[in-house]
Amino acid sequence: MRIARYIPILEWGRHYTRGALGNDMMAAVIVTIMLIPQSLAYALLAGLPPEAGLYASIVPIMLYAVFGTSRALAVGPVAVVSLMTAAAVGQVAAQGTAGYAIAALTLAVMSGAMLLAMGLFRLGFLANFLSHPVIAGFITASGILIATSQISHILGISGGGHTLPEMLEGLVTHITQTNPITLALGAGATVFLFWVRKGLKPALRQFGVSPRTADIIQKAGPVAAVVVTTVLVWGFDLAGQGVAIVGAVPQSLPPLTMPDFSLDLLRALLLPAILISVIGFVESISVAQTLAAKKRQRIDPDQELIGLGFANIGAGFTGGYPVTGGFARSVVNFDAGAETPAAGAFTAVGLAIAALALTPLVFFLPKATLAATIIVAVLSLVDLSILRRTWAYSRTDFAAVAATIALTLGVGVEIGVTAGVILSIALHLYKTSRPHIAEVGLVPGTQHFRNIHRHAVETDPAILTIRIDESLYFANARFLEDHILNRVVQDCPIKHVILMCSAVNEIDMSALETLEALNERLRDMGITLHLSEVKGPVTDRLKRSHFLEQLTGQVFLAQYDAWRSLSAGKTMAAR
């Protein structure tokens, strides 16, 4: 059915089994336990009331379950998008005001509309303009910014700023105002959560606990930190001694909210919405495809755009803010045995119950505990080894990564990722404008042709064979022309130039005009131009022009055919 293509639940829902129901519900319980403190924490990171994190984790998950294609992706607030939301909304409204919350709603709807449009027009390929090294650099820098921004909550002091220098300056300025009790709670929670992540499961296994039970207990570790620190604050009245707490959280399901579609606000949020859409989609699709591959399942990137689009639109109309597929919760969902997107819907039900019944219990929850939760979660995103790896492999990729990290930390999130995208595209254009060009000769005893500077090959002084390892387009065609002309003027015996096109997948109009000019100039020199190993689609395109009719030489099916036809039989070994 054609409609099932856009509403995947109609496909997998027909084959839903009782066994899948049991596995999905178990996964939902585990993910719900994990998401309650995470949702509260990420909302505070975005500069919003804690309940916004819960609201952003209910309706969006349900909508993704209907329109998404991943069986394990868990949609909701994530650290990087929360940071980008705070940076974007903070430019148009003051934190804590109604305008700030409305701007966050608007940002979610704008992001959702963009994702939905990209999916309907099948524009998922646009995300490819963000190279993996740039994404890795941006996420690393964002992780550092997020962790740094939470140190003030651990210390119980005022903080602020959107760049690393601003944050560090604020910490240094207010360090003398550190609240010892807050520091003890925050540092203790941080150490405990790190131990839970690395040491709890092995410890439980030593006591004979089954792997599955140990895994569930490990996932519930943040809840234990929340419970213990909340009881301590309540029991010893630590809020009266300066410990910042979450306070009253409304006991309600997600409300119906209305974003602000005024032209000025839309214009101010346009670029952030684009960046959040692209970054969120790239993060989500990479997680979804990784998990799907483990079960030989298929992910449709364009349908994922539609699913994420509806999820964000749903968040904007129900008191949330921009969401995407989170790596940590999706892995937990997968490991817990989720078989269909229904696991996400069950998670939403669990969070709805928490929003109705459990919110009074977090009144005394210290913000330092939420900060510890964020720090432990985001430090796993920091991967400075990407600098070493890109330096060793590609200096241009290293430049893109280093610039992205430096600008994100020093100037801001939006400028950092924008610069990374622009630099990636610019470096790609630079590299393809100066493609690898090899002069090739015949490997003795074979029909293969290789670079004369890498292999002992046979050459003919009257024949120059050039292999270009790139498609020909406006940016590199003149480079090829200059290379060939510079080569032939240095070598008078050359009578034939063969352009070996085995790696050429496209010749655009500018490149065609350059080839026509090259053909004329070589003819004036008494040199014929030939082509070999031209691919079918390229040949079809060339036949639409007069180039092949005006070509002074021939078009050979294989380079060896050209060699046999044009060689004078006098060969020598090239060094």
Q: Which of 152-156, 298-302, 443-447 has the lowest mean pLDDT?
A: 298-302
Give residue-wise pLDDT tens across range 497-549: 999 999 999 999 999 999 999 999 999 999 999 999 999 999 999 999 999 99
* Three-class secondary structure of residue 91 per DSSP: coil
Q: All domains of the chain, ordered by start, with CATH?
A: 16-400 (no CATH), 437-573 (3.30.750.24)
Pairing of strands 528-532, 496-500: parallel
Does 220 score more than 80 pLDDT? no
Q: Kindly report the backbone phi and psi dihedral angles of residue 533, in degrees, each rounded to the nearest multiple of 5, phi listed first.
A: 55, 45
- 388 pLDDT tier (thresholds 50, 70, 90): very high
Check residue 81 and give its pLDDT.
93
The average confidence (pLDDT) of the chain is 90
With beta carbons less than 8 A apart as the criterion, state whether 21 and 335 touch: no
Give residue-wise pLDDT tens across range 348-378: 999 999 999 888 989 999 999 999 988 988 8
Give residue-wise pLDDT tens across range 198-216: 888 888 888 888 887 887 7
Check residue 310 and give its pLDDT.
97
* Three-class secondary structure of residue 154 per DSSP: helix
How far, in Å, CA of 471 to CA of 454, rounded? 23
Does 380 score more than 60 pLDDT? yes
Give residue-wise pLDDT tens across range 462-506: 999 999 999 999 999 999 999 999 999 886 789 999 999 999 999
- 568 pLDDT tier (thresholds 50, 70, 90): low
Check residue 575 and give its pLDDT.
42
Does 118 score more than 60 pLDDT? yes
Check residue 573 and give its pLDDT.
45
How far, in Å, CA of 443 to CA of 445, rounded? 6
Burial track 157-192 (b if 16+ CB lie within 10 A, e otherwise): bebebbbbebbeebbeebeeeebebbebbbebbbeb
Check residue 177 and give its pLDDT.
93
Name the residue among 530, 559, 552 with its Cα closest to residue 448: 559
Check residue 533 and give its pLDDT.
97
Check residue 572 and give its pLDDT.
47
